[in-house]
Amino acid sequence: MTKIMLAFILFALPTRARDNGAAALAAAGCGAPETEFTLKVDKKSHPLPQAEPGKATVVVFAQLGSACLGCAIVKMGIDGSWVGALEHTSYSFFSIPPGDHRVCVALQSSLKRISEMAAAASLTAEAGNVYYLRVLPGNNKLLLKLVDPAEGPLLIKSAGLSIATPKKP
């Protein structure tokens, strides 16, 4: 009986750790870890996002350069749902209602656990505003930083527009 209980505990612990990791990612604003995207980057198009009436717009830039992280796709999420993806030097944007939100970025696939390669930020959005966030490589992690609104259009000029499509399971 002791062996059965020990085996149960040993097999249950990794599952519980994964559940806690998924819960932490969801609390940070990330979506389901198994969601993946295919990605195309349009380097010729640089549209300046405008906020929709009654909403705010969030623009996320990836500035990963030639770092190893730049080889991977970075997913971006808001309030527990993935909304797109980025790579290298690209950007994407999405609309949100006014209020408090959690924005998350994470590597789509990694040898490390996804929670180790994720970053998040809180954002209080006001209708009509455009918010800019930048994803940077950190010391074996991702960083997510708010960008001055005056600098945002300059970053768009030097980045490709990322067009992400969710992969079918």
Residue 18 clears pLDDT 60, i.e. is over it: no
Both tokens of 91, joined, read: 């950007």
The reported pLDDT for the residue numbered 28 is 86
Give tens-digit pLDDT for 93-151.
999 999 999 999 998 875 445 555 889 999 999 999 999 999 998 887 889 999 999 99
The reported pLDDT for the residue numbered 114 is 52
Would you give the distance in Å from CA 164 to the centre of its chain?
A: 12
E strand or H helix at 24: helix 2-27
CA distances from 56 to 124, 127, 160, 163 (A): 10, 5, 22, 20
CATH number of the domain within which 13 lies? 2.60.40.2890
Residue 163 clears pLDDT 90, i.e. is over it: yes
Residue 16, burial from CB neighbour count under 10 angstroms (0-12, 13-18, 19+): exposed
Residue 34 clears pLDDT 90, i.e. is over it: no
Confidence of residue 9 (pLDDT cuts 50, 70, 90): very low
Structurally, the chain folds into a number of domains equal to 1
Which has the closest alpha carbon to 90: 164, 142, 160? Answer: 160
Q: How far apart are CA 45 and CA 41, in angstroms?
A: 9
CA distances from 30 to 27, 120, 160 (A): 7, 8, 23
Give tens-digit pLDDT for 46-82.
899 999 999 999 999 998 865 544 458 899 999 999 9
Would you give the distance in Å from CA 28 to the centre of its chain?
A: 10
Q: What angle do CA 146, 158, 96 make, to 5 degrees?
A: 40
Give tens-digit pLDDT for 150-159.
999 999 999 9
Residue 88 contacts residue 64 (beta carbons within 8 Å): yes
Residue 138 belongs to domain spanning: 2-166
The reported pLDDT for the residue numbered 19 is 54
